[in-house]
Amino acid sequence: MYDYLIVGSGLFGATFAYLAHRQGKRCLVIDKRPQLGGNVYCENIKGINVHKYGAHIFHTSNREVWDFVNSLVEFNRYTNCPVANFEGKLYNLPFNMNTFYQMWGVTTPEEAMAKINSQREKAHQEMERAGITEPRNLEEQAISLIGVDIYEKLIKGYTEKQWGRKCTELPAGKDVYEKLIKGYTQKQWGRECKELPAFIIKRLPLRFTYDNNYFNDLYQGIPIGGYNRLIEALLDGVEIRTETNYFSDRETYDAIAKHTVFTGKIDEFFDYCHGKLQYRSVRFEQETLEKSNFQGNAVVNYTSRDVLYTRIIEHKHFESFGNAVYDNPFTVISREYSSEWKEGMEPYYPVNDERNNALYEEYRKMAEAQDCVSFGGRLAEYRYYDMAPTIESAMKLFNQLNSNV
């Protein structure tokens, strides 16, 4: 009899298994994929660790979590500095003085603020004339809540990233919205911005400094040698079965462990009894090129709707810096496309609109009533998780379960 059956070998499941194994608990980790690691899995191609399920950059201000992962593997100094390509012109992200110079030719914070505030004031006037008192959708939220020029750079097909400031604290203007957000957001969600809920925009990457660091966290980096090394360290000594589908023999798996930690889709666990939750999915067109350097940056977002992919990832830049990129004559790129999720596709991002949140609440109540099953992670909690909060959440669950023993 196992103490824990852990369904899923992603960061949540692997972290939980590590903590349980360290305390002498007998664990079995099962995963329906042929490899471990969930969406952080990397495939080595031509000596390059390719992030098979999209770019993953570890970042956190939680020193406990940072020390925890670094006790397992060494992290490099990678700093996430993506750029946006709009009709052939490049803009720095998050929005900062480099962006404002590229867009308007301004060189001081005062000039940038004046430009933004003038557009913001115009947006509020237009809303008043239209009799609009509160943003009704994402587009109005973007152009009006925070001004006429900015709305959050919604890399939401990618993330609900933590930008460090609330939108209400940061003015913006229509130029930024039209060039860097509108088309990208519509591609990510497959809907017009006017059809998207306003809550999607939560934070805004607006800085009046020349700081291109995407994150505001104290610590960030990528495991040297790729994320597989982190997963291998977490699961060292733990019994593992890959290509094993929990739902193919559910009764048997439920009977072999005292407690199950489930990290899959919560609606599937309950046989979709309240209906199916919606997701956004992502697909990748991967290409190996016989050149050392394709775009000079790990991530370039394409914000015009005319370009079908949302971004291009060049994987070698996650671990090779400066002229070291030329040590390898090959590079691997992935063009990323966002789409509606359908059966058979990987569910990446929950669609946290009113309908889906209400549906999830029904499943959450059912989950709370389970005595011998705990739910954790992005799919089981129907919420977007960055990697560090995923690990923190797994730690919390383990402590809760073992404090009650």
What is the per-residue pLDDT for 181?
Answer: 54
Does 179 fall in a domain? yes
Number of domains in the chain: 2
Residue among 139, 140, 314, 336 flagged as catalytic:
336
- CA 239 centroid distance within chain: 28
| Active-site entry in 139, 140, 381, 386 | 386
Q: Assess whether 100 and 233 both reside in one domain.
A: no
Residue 310, in any domain of the structure: no
**What number of other Cβ atoms are within 10 A of residue 385's Cβ?**
21
Quick check: is 288 in a domain?
A: no
Q: Which residues of the chain have pLDDT under 50?
A: 145-177, 179-180, 184, 187-189, 202-204
Same domain as 175, residue 112 = yes
Tokens 């073992």 belong to residue? 402
Q: Angle, nearest 10°, between helix axes 387-403 and 63-72?
A: 90
Inside any domain, residue 206: no
In a domain, 36, yes or no: yes
Q: Would you say residue 212 lies in a domain?
A: no
**Cβ-Cβ contacts under 8 Å for 204 (sequence gap 6 or more):** 95, 146, 150, 151, 152, 153, 163, 165, 166, 167, 169, 170, 172
- Known catalytic residue at 384: yes
In a domain, 286, yes or no: no
Residues 174, 123: one domain?
yes
Q: Is 383 a catalytic residue?
A: no
Q: Which of 78, 177, 203, 349 is catalytic?
A: 203
My answer on whether 362 and 265 are in the same domain is yes
Indicate whether 189 and 227 sit together in one domain.
Answer: no
Residues 67 and 109 in one domain: no
- Residues 129, 232, single domain; the answer is no
Our answer to whether residue 283 is catalytic in this structure is: no
Same structural domain for residues 175 and 233?
no
Q: Which domain holds residue 153?
A: 94-200
- 354-376 exposure pattern, b = at least 16 Cβ within 10 A, e = fewer: eebbebbeebbeebeeeeebbbb
Q: Which of 207, 214, 246, 348 is catalytic?
A: 207
User: What local confidence, expressed as pLDDT, does residue 146 receive?
Assistant: 41
Answer yes or no: do 174 and 130 share one domain: yes
Residues 182/188, Cβ–Cβ less than 8 Å: no
Same domain, 157 and 61: no
CATH number where 236 lies? 3.40.50.720
Catalytic residue among 18, 280, 363, 382, which?
A: 280
Q: What's the pTM?
A: 0.84
Q: Is residue 54 part of a domain?
A: yes
pLDDT digits (tens, 9 = 90+) for 158-202: 222 222 233 333 233 444 445 445 554 554 445 565 665 555 554
User: Is 235 within 8 Å of 38 (Cβ atoms)?
Assistant: no
Rounded to whole angstroms, how far apart are CA atoms 308 and 192?
Answer: 15
Structure tokens at 362: 């029904």
**Pick from 144, 171, 200: which residue ends a domain?**
200
The span from the CA of 296 to the CA of 6, in Å, is 40
Residue 92 near residue 148 (C-beta atoms within 8 A): no
138, 167, 200 - which closes a domain: 200
Catalytic-role residue among 91, 267, 311, 349: 311
β-strand partners of 283: 337
Euclidean distance between CA atoms 230 and 71, whole angstroms: 10
Q: Are residues 169 and 59 part of one domain?
A: no
Q: What pLDDT shows up at residue 164?
A: 27
The residues near 361 (Cβ < 8 Å, ≥ 6 apart) are none
Q: Indicate the residue type of 262.
A: F
Same domain, 52 and 130: no
* pLDDT of amino acid 148: 44
Burial class (CB in 10 A: 0-12, 13-18, 19+), 211: middle
Beta strands 89-92; 219-221: pairing state:
unpaired
